[in-house]
Structure 1
Amino acid sequence: MKVNQLSSVEKRRIFLMLLLIVLLFLGIVVKLFWIQIATSESYSSHDINLVKNSVIQRQRALVLESGRGEIVDRHLQPLTGQIVKAVIAFPINQEYGLKQQEVTQLVRILQINKDQWASFSRGLKEPQIWGTQDGGKPIQLSAQQSKAIEGLALPNVKVVEIEDRYPIGMTARQLIGFIGQNPDRVMQLYSSDVEKGKLELTTKIGGAGLEKSFDKWLRGVGETSISYFTDAGKRPLAGLDARMIAPGNSFYPVKLITTLDRQVQRQIEALMDKLGIREGAAVVQESTHGDVIAMASRPNYNPSQVDLASNSWSNYALKSTAPGSIFKTVVAAAALDEKVVSPTETFDCKGAMGKYGFTCWRKDGHGPLTLEEGYAQSCNIVFAGVMKRLSPALLEKYANKLGVLNEVGWTGKTDTKDAFAQFDSEDAGQLFAAHTPENDEGVLMQTAIGQRDVRMTPLQASNMVVTLLNGGKAFSPRVVQEIQYQTGREMEQFPVKSLDVEAGKISAATSRTLLNWMREVVTEGTGQGLLGAKWKLAGKSGTAQIQNGKAQKVNQWFIGYGPVDTPKYAVSVVIKNMDPTESNKAIPLFKGIMDILANQAPAAAN
């Protein structure tokens, strides 16, 4: 049938079919243009980068740097993120592999044998770092090894700079914390970034310590990786070879500038290990505003291989425990400010109270002692007598004034207006447990000497000394002072803050009196083991009896300041779960820390 013989209806039908085909073709063309050109780097509501993903399909990549911010000390010395040189092997077709002569040269430089290299390189499916140690850390190449391997110009072996987030020998591990995978928390905190494709559920985020507290700043804007481009047959694509892929943002990663002194921190941790301290903590604060100079915790742990079932990663400087006689400082402050004891009044210590099974550590008794002498000798009988004149409410009031019942670390609102705490998982202190009869005389006697339900953290203890050194004014200690962009420009500032205490503060006169009494603890009392220190020191000892399962254990404490004439630092130490028969390690540790600080400032007054 000829076209001109078609009816008008049939002609119209054919025309519509042709028009539909043309429109469909145009639609496909437009869609392809839209995908491949207009939105190739931000396709769909999830901002999927199609160019990047098409490249990923034909490349083999290895992350060299996470892009996570660096944590540094007050002198800008790195605490995390050491950069080391390492060897990477890429999986390519066997016909492009190493020749025997090249293998011989490579293994000689690496100081290994051919069998070791063959076992490593055979059947690689993904880029692999040569040699790992201590939880997957790359084996670091020397400068000579790096230069020699680069000179070989091998087809599938490269020398690269790679980030070791937690280098061997790093310090302040519990304070810094660790990163790890936590898909639930990623969704809780960063669900919008996940939906936009900017973050994977498997992305490592802060799991503890500063890594967790400051995660939203430290996360960065992307990782740096090295990629090796191949075709479907694992043959290298000519002209592409291995290349670096990085975010290209000059502002990131950021620097988290702490108040720590890396040198002091490192020496304190070495001292704790030398003394054989199995479990405990030490805190050093500046006397003026309470900035944390060092914060150490034992036992130690490997942040690259975290055993969450173990407590070794927990920062004991922020965990509350029985304080023993260092709590007598709170009782003495209440007695002085409330004037319930006269300076010349004496209490007769015969070694035991005669009821409640309450005794003094000195079984034969101290005899008659004033409150001042009772503080120096840490007499339990004296403080039991003083506590009879104080109510539970008054004791709680002064515990609050000295900042030992609540979290004391720096908190506030950042530029993002979010409430924020610098210290991760800081414990509050405690005076009485929930169902303890507070007005019971026996309970109050035990409470007065820091036993029964009383709990305090080492940070609260050292900060209490800072409060006394500032005439009763309490501060919220910082451990991070500033965050900077990579350019050095300020991103976030954390100013010095006073501790918000509703109960007010103790008087300056009482503060001075207690500081003088701390001197007497060293010159005449339980702290005489400090007399040979480089500085003249002052402080208060404490031994708390605790129950660990069926075993009776003790916490050994010492808190104080130095040098006495021009105080620069407040220090607290606790050795936890010690056998009662073991020698005191708190005083040697306190003395050693103060000697470390004295060596940092040799011109300081004695």
Structure 2
Amino acid sequence: MLKAANLIPQKRLIVVCGVVVILMLSLIFRFFYLQVYYHETYKQKAEVNRIRAIPLNASRGLILDRNGEIIVDNYPTYVLTAIPGEMIDKHKNFQIISKSTGIDISLLETNYKKYYRGKFLPARLAKDLTFDQLSRIEEHKQELTGINYMQFPERYFPRKINAAHILGYVKEVDQALIKELDLKDNYLYGDLIGWRGLEKVYEESLRGEKGVYFVEVDAYGREMGQSPDYKKENPIPGKDLQTSLLISLQQMLENLLDGKRAVVLVSSPKTGAMLAMVSKPDYSPDLFIGATTVNEWQDIISNQDKPLLNRMTHGLYPPGSTLKMITAMTLMEKGKVNYSETIYCSGIYELGDRHFRCWKEGGHGKMDLEQAVTQSCNIYFYHLVQRLTLDEWAEACKSFGFGEMTGIDLASEAKGVIPNSTFMNKLYGRWGWSKGHLLNLAYSSYSIVLTLYYSIRYYPTNRSTPLLL
């Protein structure tokens, strides 16, 4: 039987050929678009999938005393990490780690969730691993998947001195802290950041710069070895910080005040440089590096002596007779006292129905200005301070920096109180205070509270702010 010829209309053939040509041109254009025009973009994306950047932590700068003796050092510790995308069986991994190292599985799970950053980014499981624990992990290396460890520089205190309130401490950066302080451009999870004291004030100088090395990974994200195409960048350690402290003096004062509630500051009167600063009771400077148990922490925060309180910058106390000199200078500047004028001190001064006493019961007798300052005579200044208004006296104190921030390089401080008429009116009411309060101010009373650091600042001959650097 004969078959009829399969004839295709010319018009339809042209349409089909046109469609094929258009499709081919579209494919060619798309290939050109991807392979040529956007070559660099997709090459970079491929490199990201093929190459993994591993950060290298920089050692923080050392903190030294004025003679170069080390106060705060670094020591290498080991951190155990897991790469989520490389772990075949997470629960099995954690069981092996827990059984071989003694680390509780619940701690591994908690840290894994806390430090999880992505499928192919390492999440911290544990830190401060001992060599024995590392050896046991190495023994099970073939059974573990996605588990690695790396060296991490931790803060170390040689413990000649505590100086915890001066040195401050570092804090571990976590997800909440990165969001709170917007640190994502400069810090990674698990990094250390200065959080108090010198560690915080000089963070930029101490922290150094991270390094990086590059490894090749396969399609499953498994490391295949260091990449020869990218050069390793070594970390740059932080700059050392040389303080004005003298370790031997600091150590002697800490031992002398041990078991007491006290503050001692020693500075150079010519430069204002701090030689020793002690606030007791204090705490161990390694309290915040992760070795403190829950019970130890509870003991510290429940301690009635408040060892966490920095009494040097946040303890407020009446400054005592040091303010007599400000009273004398103000009166002299205003011409309200004669240098040779004498006042008799009997040991007691009466104002209305109140009695104000001198520290010397029998009195000093006849005193001029120089003798009154030398002997710190209360009665002399009871008489003289009445020649000033409260606001004149307060303004003179402020000219010496009292009642303002001192600017000490310890991150935070209390401001203190120098009362003026506005302050007294708010505290006692317009008619609730009298001249008797002014007499108390002549040599300081409960109305005036300042940190001890104000007194140190008051004495340097160059009127500079005493600093630790």
**Which TM-score band applies after superposition, normalised by the shorter structure?**
0.5 to 0.7
What is the letter of the counterpart of residue 209 of structure 1?
Answer: G
| 1:356–1:442 CA contact under 8 A, matched in 2 | no
- Structure 1 pair 39–55 and aligned structure 2 pair: CA distance change class (3 A): closer
Out of 169, 189, 197, which is 1:209 matched to?
A: 197
RMSD of the TM alignment (CA)?
A: 5.0
- Structure 1 pair 332–217 and aligned structure 2 pair: CA distance change class (3 A): same
Q: How does 1:348-363 map to 2 (within 5 A)?
A: 348-355=345-352, 357-360=354-357, 362=359
Q: Distance in 1 between matches of 2:438 and 2:424?
A: 10
The residue number in structure 2 matching 1:599 is none
What is the letter of the counterpart of residue 425 of structure 1?
Answer: S
Q: Deviations over 1:338-385 (max 9, x none)?
A: 461544613323345354644326484425252545445544333212
Does 1:295 pair with 2:277?
A: yes
Out of 20, 37, 47, which is 1:14 matched to?
A: 20
| 1:353–1:381 CA contact under 8 A, matched in 2 | no
The residue number in structure 1 matching 2:168 is 177
| 1:348–1:382 CA contact under 8 A, matched in 2 | yes
CA deviation after TM superposition for structure 1 residue 461, in Å: 0.4
Out of 364, 384, 406, which is 1:408 matched to?
A: 406
The residue number in structure 2 matching 1:163 is 153
- Structure 1 pair 118–330 and aligned structure 2 pair: CA distance change class (3 A): same
Q: Distance in 1 between matches of 2:153 and 2:214?
A: 13
What is the letter of the counterpart of residue 179 of structure 1?
Answer: V
- Sequence identity percentage: 19
When normalised by structure 2's length, the TM-score is 0.67
Q: Distance in 2 between matches of 1:230 and 1:167?
A: 43
| 1:334–1:395 CA contact under 8 A, matched in 2 | yes
**Structure 2 unmatched ranges of 5 or more:** 1-6, 93-97, 113-122, 142-146, 291-296
| 2:265–2:276 CA contact under 8 A, matched in 1 | yes
The residue number in structure 2 matching 1:44 is none
The residue number in structure 2 matching 1:37 is 43
| 1:178–1:207 CA contact under 8 A, matched in 2 | yes
| 1:321–1:457 CA contact under 8 A, matched in 2 | yes
Out of 72, 94, 98, which is 2:64 matched to?
A: 72
What is the letter of the counterpart of residue 445 of structure 2?
Answer: Q
Larger radius of gyration: 2
The residue number in structure 2 matching 1:458 is 452
- Structure 1 pair 318–118 and aligned structure 2 pair: CA distance change class (3 A): closer
Does 1:395 pair with 2:381?
A: no
The residue number in structure 2 matching 1:426 is 413
Q: Distance in 1 between matches of 2:150 and 2:19?
A: 67
Q: Distance in 2 between matches of 1:31 and 1:179?
A: 49
Q: Distance in 2 between matches of 1:167 and 1:430?
A: 36
What is the letter of the counterpart of residue 174 of structure 1?
Answer: H
Q: How does 1:32-431 map to 2 (within 5 A)?
A: 33-35=39-41, 37-38=43-44, 50=48, 55=52, 65=57, 67-84=59-76, 86=77, 118-120=101-103, 138=128, 156=141, 162-165=152-155, 167=157, 169=159, 171-180=162-171, 181=173, 191=182, 194=184, 197-200=185-188, 204-222=192-210, 248-250=234-236, 252-273=237-258, 276-278=259-261, 280-301=262-283, 302-304=287-289, 312-319=307-314, 320-335=316-331, 338=335, 340-343=337-340, 345-355=342-352, 357-360=354-357, 362=359, 364-370=361-367, 371-409=369-407, 422-431=409-418
CA deviation after TM superposition for structure 1 residue 479, in Å: 1.9
- Structure 1 pair 384–453 and aligned structure 2 pair: CA distance change class (3 A): same
| 1:282–1:297 CA contact under 8 A, matched in 2 | yes
CA deviation after TM superposition for structure 1 residue 187, in Å: 6.4
Q: Deviations over 1:71-104 (max 9, x none)?
A: 33333333334214x566677999xx9xxxxxxx
| 1:71–1:79 CA contact under 8 A, matched in 2 | yes
Count the aligned residue pairs.
407
What is the letter of the counterpart of residue 393 of structure 2?
Answer: L
- Structure 1 pair 346–440 and aligned structure 2 pair: CA distance change class (3 A): same
